[in-house]
Structure 1
Amino acid sequence: MNRPLLPIQSIAHRLGLADRYLEPIGTYGAKLKLELLTDPDYPQRGKLVLVTATTPTKTGEGKTVVAIGLAQGLDRLGKRALVTSREPSLGPVFGVKGGGVGGGCAQVEPSQKINLHFHGDFHAITCAHNLLAAMLDAQVFHGNDLGLDCAQITWPRTLDMNDRPLRQVTIGLGGKRNGPLRETNFVITAASEIMALVGLADSREDLRHRLAALVVGYTQSGQPVRAADLGATGAMMVLLYEAILPNLVQTTEGTPALIHTGPFANLAHGTSSVLAQAMGLRLADYVINETGFGADLGAEKYVNLVMRSSGLKPAAAVLVTTVQGLQNQGQGVLEQGFSNLAQHIQILRRLGVPLVVAINRFQEDSEPDLARVASYCTAVGLPVSIVEAFAKGGAGAVDLAQKVVAVLEKEDGSVQPLYALEDSLEQKIQTVAQEVYGAAGIMVSERAQMKLQQFTELGFANLPICMAKTPYSISDDPKRLGAPSGWMLRVTDAVLAAGAGFIVVLAGDVLLMPGLPKVSRALSLDVDSMGQITGF
């Protein structure tokens, strides 16, 4: 049975958080002030645990449920723990996967508010992104003093909704008064570079630096034009004034939770903000941090991008798997899906992260199937726990919590990025393709080759790479299941994200603006006669 929600001040006091760092928003939520990070009374003391997964199905394997359940399980052991997670995007909420707050007895609350507009962070990021687009077009319209080449404007617009027709659009229709006619596109807000850089910034000063560095296009001579050149940095800082502050909420059992930023892992770096994690490590002994999709995306990017940028180092990882997920990867045969589990285990070992396997139990799972998965994990030398956090909350994750604590006390991980920043961009792609995805090599399209060469000539070759690919296969093809070998990663395009501090590399047929399915979650949502939201 879920407990009644506690006032947010009670959650803050559980963490020993002084009132001066709390800005309540309503009864059950608050923003945390950044000054907390420079207060010597709050030194960094906690251990960071990544929660990642094997390759998921389209409806997800309950990774967020396990992360929340683990924090609740640690709480039941008398440990000071909190969970850090991403803010949900309205795309999945109204699309296929639904909400992103966990489920059952392992949710972050107030779940409906968090799933919808929450504290306005997504809207602020959307507005800051589109303000920059508007200022760019206004600059071109009013004389183009910067000499922007309209054919080389790269900054899109954004919208936090799955909207297929906006993937490629023409603007400036209706004559000269509406600006020059040109093609552009929309990306979903979770794929906005501003979402990524807000998530990676470690201070307001760092945020300002990253915003100023945003590259929006190029001049006729091929020189980059930045947000700072447009004079847009200050206005974007104003729009993001509160969005940069992490959000404090609670789980169904009153365990503290920090929910902040929402970059997708298949399109961006896929984890909660650096600021939320840094605060968590000052407020708790154990910070459970969910990373998006499988270890091939979320965990790889955490080590190669987030850790490298922030200095935050995971002490251990929990690899979530399910019977249904492994059966899907095995094309209906559970044991054939073990190759996928083995590949994700290998990824985490290659990254140097000590790990525990969590089998997230679904109601329809049989005892023999669960036992077969558990036996496989034991045979390869890993601690494993069957988790029932959805049905039982923290009580269903106490065994996992005990095993995570044991690993943290026993093992000292040697977590290191997979490649050096001095490697060429193609070498970095090759390393991830071969050592993470198990590819034989890479095939780089002519378009992608031109982009990588351009970025190298402009001095961006020392940036890490952020792979954008399907989350439903370790490969770049969602139909290629298990742990395929002998295939070539198809690099189709590349995008410079100078503000975020990485190069986005598109592999296969990945899209930065999803579309709604024929039957979407939007069809089940409503407000009843009592004013209650239904259908989540």
Structure 2
Amino acid sequence: MTFKTDIEIAREANKKPIQEIGAKLGIPNEHLLPFGHDKAKVSQEFVADARGRKRGKLILVTAINPTPAGEGKTTTTVGLGDGLNAIGKRAAICIREASLGPNFGMKGGAAGGGYSQVVPMEDMNLHFTGDFHAITSAHNLLSAMIDNHIYWGNELEIDERRITWRRVMDMNDRALRDMVISLGGVSNGFARQTGFDITVASEVMAILCLAADLEDLQRRLGDIVVAYKRDKTPIYCRDIGAEGAMTVLLKDAMQPNLVQTLENNPAFVHGGPFANIAHGCNSVVATQTALGLADYVVTEAGFGADLGAEKFFNIKCRKAGLKPAVAVIVATVRAMKMNGGVVKADLGSENVSAVQKGCPNLGRHIENVKSFGVPVVVAINHFHSDTDAEVQAVKDYVASLGSEAILCRHWAEGSKGISELATRVAELADGDWSQFAPLYGDDMPLYEKIETIARRIYRADEVLADAKIRNQLKEWEAAGYGSLPICMAKTQYSFSTDPNLRGAPDNHSVPVREVRLSAGAGFIVVICGEIMTMPGLPRKPAAQSIRFNDEGLIEGLF
């Protein structure tokens, strides 16, 4: 069976001028700042007005742990937004921007797939409106100013051994993880060890996605802890004097981007922190703007619910005062079979027992999301190889947990393939059954917050952290940071820190390798296991297949 590629489908889209898409949400032309004909930024003035209006219903789309079989979380997010509009609801979509690292690596883009995509697909998966470049520039301006301050006499008495601010670039490049800079003599500064993270792991990215406006953005940037003195007192970005220039660089990046789906429905695409090494949600500004303009807003959280949804609830919703009405957990028959022990090459053959064996991974996510007080419905993202018996096995399992699973064919059919899910989601949202509450309180000690996530979400027996890490957490509490939430950085492939441990493991440990204070963003990053804040490219990166064809069109993006 032959299918068109995502980029082939996107290229055939009948796009409308972006002003028509804005008009669907009541955005006047003068408040749209166009980037060509099919994308635009929404002005700061209009955003401020929209955020003060009555809010619509917020719907979260999350998923099981990702597998090589594919789950289709963004595809389902886009499809559900189209489906809600198709049944007569006023709905908008909010998703993240795509990082160049995964685009040219292994994961691919972030625009959905099949007939549930956001367009223009090529632009979204490449440079888009330049937001990531602005974030990279702002971050590295601060890096340059720190080293420049030291070069010109180090008036702040920065301990060069305790500079915590690294550099970033929007690419997977393992060679830059750990390096020595300023070699070459006196004129190049003082040699020291540092490294690069990927832009989507930058605290500047997290700040932009959590800031309310430019004033809040500048305050948060000023609060970034960049280094320490010899007596371990902190040095802030504002001490370096970089926050004003950084805010200027980020002025346009703070404005949400408006594009459209294949069915010409509005989609806000803004911000892009990773979910395994950051908090994995689109910007608060975009979400709150959409909630002021639409009756239903469909958003997503990165990777599986153990990472994305947990951080969406405990960080984004807590910080922005959001109350999700419904959560949709995306699963596939293929992924259930992989969790049940079937290798990728054999996924096309019916195996009901493997589906049943793999379903506990889905069940664990259902239980976890329900623990936040949010109603749950499961979307079975259909693949053509799925059999009726396999689909029924998933439905029966979900029903045994007191929830409902609905088969969705939006990848192949667009909105008409997801109308049943859209109808059910709208019913749940309108019922106001959500009793949302974060997993832990602000006043819980930092280490206990880490243990709470590890035990209640990952089902771990213990957290392993040496005295140095525990003492660091206590020092931050003494400095006034004890009320901050936790941003766990771990593998996305498992509830544990072992990426090869599928299913729903119990009786495992969560080793904490490092903790980082993101004072400007307002959370503590806890790095577990072997997770890297600068990913590497796979043996055969996607970049090898991306090129112009004979007609001058881009091929290879997915």
Provide the TM-score with structure 1 as the length reference.
0.98
The aligned residue for residue 28 of structure 1 is 38
Tell me the CA shift for residue 462 of structure 1. 1.6
Tell me the CA shift for residue 181 of structure 1. 0.8
**Worse overlay, 323-332 or 475-484:** 323-332
Distance 2:541 2:431 in 1: 46
Distance 2:68 2:446 in 1: 31
Whether contact under 8 Å (1:42, 1:283) holds in the other structure is no
Query: What secondary structure is seen at the aligned counterpart in 1 of 2:371?
Result: helix
Query: What secondary structure is seen at the aligned counterpart in 2 of 1:39?
Result: helix
Query: What secondary structure is seen at the aligned counterpart in 2 of 1:296?
Result: helix
Pair 1:211-2:221 in alignment: yes
Cα distance per residue 1:167-200 (max 9 Å; x no partner): 1011011111111110001100110000001000
The aligned residue for residue 441 of structure 1 is 462
Between the two proteins, what is the percent identity of the paired residues?
Answer: 46
Whether contact under 8 Å (1:59, 1:97) holds in the other structure is no
Tell me the CA shift for residue 502 of structure 1. 0.4
**Worse overlay, 167-176 or 380-389:** 380-389
What are the ranges of 5 or more consecutive residues in structure 1 without an aligned counterpart? none
> Within 5 A, what are the aligned runs for 1:201-240?
201-240=211-250
Cα distance per residue 1:433-469 (max 9 Å; x no partner): 1111111121113442243233223221221110000
The aligned residue for residue 471 of structure 1 is 492
> Within 5 A, what are the aligned runs for 1:431-510?
431-510=452-531
| Aligned residues between the structures | 536
Tell me the CA shift for residue 292 of structure 1. 0.5
Pair 1:291-2:290 in alignment: no
Query: What secondary structure is seen at the aligned counterpart in 2 of 1:415?
Result: coil
The aligned residue for residue 268 of structure 2 is 258
The aligned residue for residue 145 of structure 2 is 135
> Within 5 A, what are the aligned runs for 1:304-343?
304-332=314-342, 333-343=354-364
- Structure 1 runs (4+) deviating above 4 angstroms are none
Tell me the CA shift for residue 58 of structure 1. 4.3
Query: What secondary structure is seen at the aligned counterpart in 1 of 2:310?
Result: helix
Distance 1:140 1:60 in 2: 48
Distance 2:129 2:163 in 1: 32
> Within 5 A, what are the aligned runs for 1:280-429?
280-332=290-342, 333-429=354-450
Tell me the CA shift for residue 235 of structure 1. 0.7
Whether contact under 8 Å (2:51, 2:291) holds in the other structure is no
Tell me the CA shift for residue 329 of structure 1. 1.9
Give the alignment's Cα RMSD to 1 decimal: 1.4
The structure 2 residue matched to 1:279, chosen from 277, 289, 304, is: 289
The aligned residue for residue 116 of structure 2 is 106
Query: What secondary structure is seen at the aligned counterpart in 2 of 1:64?
Result: helix
Query: What secondary structure is seen at the aligned counterpart in 1 of 2:160?
Result: strand
Tell me the CA shift for residue 411 of structure 1. 4.5
Tell me the CA shift for residue 303 of structure 1. 1.1
Tell me the CA shift for residue 236 of structure 1. 0.2
Tell me the CA shift for residue 375 of structure 1. 1.7
Tell me the CA shift for residue 382 of structure 1. 1.3
Pair 1:87-2:108 in alignment: no
Distance 1:432 1:73 in 2: 34
Indicate how the Cα distance of structure 1 residues 166 and 394 shifts in structure 2: closer, same or farther if over 3 A, else same.
same
Distance 2:48 2:547 in 1: 44
Query: What secondary structure is seen at the aligned counterpart in 2 of 1:491?
Result: strand
Distance 1:109 1:100 in 2: 11
Matched to 2:15, the amino acid is L
> Within 5 A, what are the aligned runs for 1:71-220?
71-220=81-230
Tell me the CA shift for residue 384 of structure 1. 1.8
Distance 1:456 1:43 in 2: 37
Provide the TM-score with structure 2 as the length reference.
0.94
Distance 2:235 2:201 in 1: 21
> Within 5 A, what are the aligned runs for 1:36-75?
36-39=46-49, 43-58=53-68, 60-75=70-85
Query: What secondary structure is seen at the aligned counterpart in 2 of 1:454?
Result: helix
What are the ranges of 5 or more consecutive residues in structure 2 without an aligned counterpart? 1-8, 343-353
Whether contact under 8 Å (1:95, 1:516) holds in the other structure is yes
Cα distance per residue 1:282-312 (max 9 Å; x no partner): 1111100011011111111111111111111
Tell me the CA shift for residue 3 of structure 1. 4.6
Indicate how the Cα distance of structure 1 residues 309 and 361 shifts in structure 2: closer, same or farther if over 3 A, else same.
same
Distance 1:437 1:277 in 2: 28
